[in-house]
């Protein structure tokens, strides 16, 4: 049920493909805390990470996900590589391909960069975040976490809050959740939530309280200062007053609401500290699940890889 060479986004995946990944991840999760269950099944697979943007969680969990399965995992330090001498993305990829790389994991500041790379190399390419397009493995770990806690997707109300305009996480989640039957609301200030997002099959809202009402899942997103121009809102205090989620506002959601965040968190901006550390929060669980989901993706892709 998963025959692809690459994992570029949730836009292209079928419901069945998504469920294959989530089911595989369930088995993988046991291996994280139980090293005796690990079996070196990827010992003949080489993995290279190419991160053109910074990362803590995604990069480290990919590297560990590979190593837990016995793969050879190397990081191309982009800043110290020939990219800094002006070597193009395609040429960089072709060189890594010639070295026998089976899987390339790329994060890039430009939308579509993983797609271009995938067209030019034999290795499998995993999108670890491209511009403001997609971050499929983050969405898959979010889906895994939701399924783990709610047991289903059908009919769930999932609210994604904050800097939607710049968020590849919101977009990948919107693609995935709508395919699986959840109802998705994207909410934030009108300068950060475009109405054309509605074409993705989601509800768009600028009223946080109304958006959160009866929600099963509330997902906060980081304000991405590094991608903003021309002041989408006056200042951080106004933002957190009008659009931040604190325990008071959270009362509008269902009692058993899941609070999620892809990290890194700006504490006190999109979510208040008591919400981040509160009993509904699964933010730390998401991180562990990230390793499980990435182990599953590496396993599935290595089985399909042309070289392997």
Partner 1 sequence: MSSILIKNGRLIDPKNNVDKVCDIFIENKKVSEIGNNIEKKADKVIDATNLIVTPGLIDLHIHLREPGFENKETIATGTRAAAMGGFTSVCPMPNTDPVTDNAIVVEYVLNEKRDAVINVLPVGAITKGQKGEELADIGQMAKAGAVALSEDGKSVANPALMKNAMRYSKMFNLPIFDHCEDHRLATGSMNAGDRASMLGLKGISNDSEELIVARDVILAQSTGCKLHICHISTEGSVEIVRKAKEKGLPISCEVAPHHFTLCDEDIVDYDSNFKMNPPLRSRKDMEIMKKALADNTIEVIATDHAPHHIDDKNCEFEKAANGITGLETAFALSYTELVESNLMPLSDMLAKLTCNPARILGVEKGELSVGSDADIMIADIENVYKIDVSKMASKGKNTPFGGREVKGKVLYTICGGDIIVENGELTK
Residues in contact with partner 1 by CB under 8 A are 11, 88-90, 108, 110-113, 115-116, 130-134, 168, 171, 194, 196-197, 199-200, 229-230
- In the chain, the N- to C-terminal Cα span, in Å, equals 18
Between 29 and 166, whose beta carbon lies closer to partner 1?
A: 166
Q: Least CB distance from residue 171 to partner 1, whole Å?
A: 6
User: Which H or E run includes 302?
Assistant: helix 283-304
Between 221 and 245, whose beta carbon lies closer to partner 1?
A: 221
- Residues 63 and 65: their CA atoms lie apart, in Å, by 5
Between 54 and 194, whose beta carbon lies closer to partner 1?
A: 194
Between 142 and 216, whose beta carbon lies closer to partner 1?
A: 142
Between 102 and 138, whose beta carbon lies closer to partner 1?
A: 138
Q: Least CB distance from residue 232 to partner 1, whole Å?
A: 13
Q: Least CB distance from residue 262 to partner 1, whole Å?
A: 16
Alpha helices in 15-162 (DSSP H): 15-33, 57-67, 89-98, 113-120, 136-150
Q: Least CB distance from residue 189 to partner 1, whole Å?
A: 17
Between 189 and 244, whose beta carbon lies closer to partner 1?
A: 189
Q: Least CB distance from residue 156 to partner 1, whole Å?
A: 23
Q: Least CB distance from residue 241 to partner 1, whole Å?
A: 28
> For the purposes of burial, counting CB atoms within 10 Å of the CB of 13, is it exposed (0-12), middle (13-18) or buried (19 or more)?
buried
Q: Please state at what angle helix 168-179 crosses helix 15-33, rounded to 10 degrees.
A: 110
């Amino acid at each position: 049920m998963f025959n692809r060479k690459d994992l570029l986004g949730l836009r292209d995946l079928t419901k069945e493909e998504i469920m294959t990944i989530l089911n595989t991840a369930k088995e993988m999760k046991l291996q994280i805390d139980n090293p005796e269950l690990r079996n070196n099944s990827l010992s003949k697979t080489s993995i290279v990470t190419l991160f053109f943007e910074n990362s803590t969680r995604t990069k480290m969990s990919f590297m560990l996900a590979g190593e837990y399965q016995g793969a050879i995992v190397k990081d191309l330090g982009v800043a110290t590589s020939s990219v800094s001498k002006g070597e193009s993305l395609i040429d960089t990829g072709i060189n890594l391909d010639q070295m026998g790389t089976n899987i390339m994991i790329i994060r890039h500041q430009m939308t579509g960069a993983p797609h271009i790379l995938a067209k030019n190399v034999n290795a499998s390419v995993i999108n670890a975040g491209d511009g403001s397009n997609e971050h499929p493995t983050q969405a898959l770990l979010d889906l895994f976490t939701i399924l783990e806690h709610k047991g289903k997707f059908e009919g769930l109300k999932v609210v994604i809050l904050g800097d939607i305009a710049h968020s590849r996480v919101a977009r990948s989640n919107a693609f995935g959740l709508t395919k699986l039957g959840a109802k998705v609301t994207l909410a934030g200030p009108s300068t950060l939530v475009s109405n054309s997002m509605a074409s993705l099959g989601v509800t768009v809202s600028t009223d946080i309280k109304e958006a959160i009402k009866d929600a099963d899942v509330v997902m906060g997103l980081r304000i991405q200062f590094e991608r903003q121009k021309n002041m989408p809102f006056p200042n951080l205090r106004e933002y957190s007053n009008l659009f931040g989620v604190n325990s008071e506002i959270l009362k509008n959601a269902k009692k058993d609401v899941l609070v999620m965040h892809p990290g890194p968190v700006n504490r006190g901006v999109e979510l208040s500290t008591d919400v981040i550390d509160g009993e509904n929060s699964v933010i730390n669980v998401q991180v562990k699940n990230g390793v499980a989901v990435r182990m599953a993706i590496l396993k599935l892709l290595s089985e399909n890889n042309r070289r392997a």
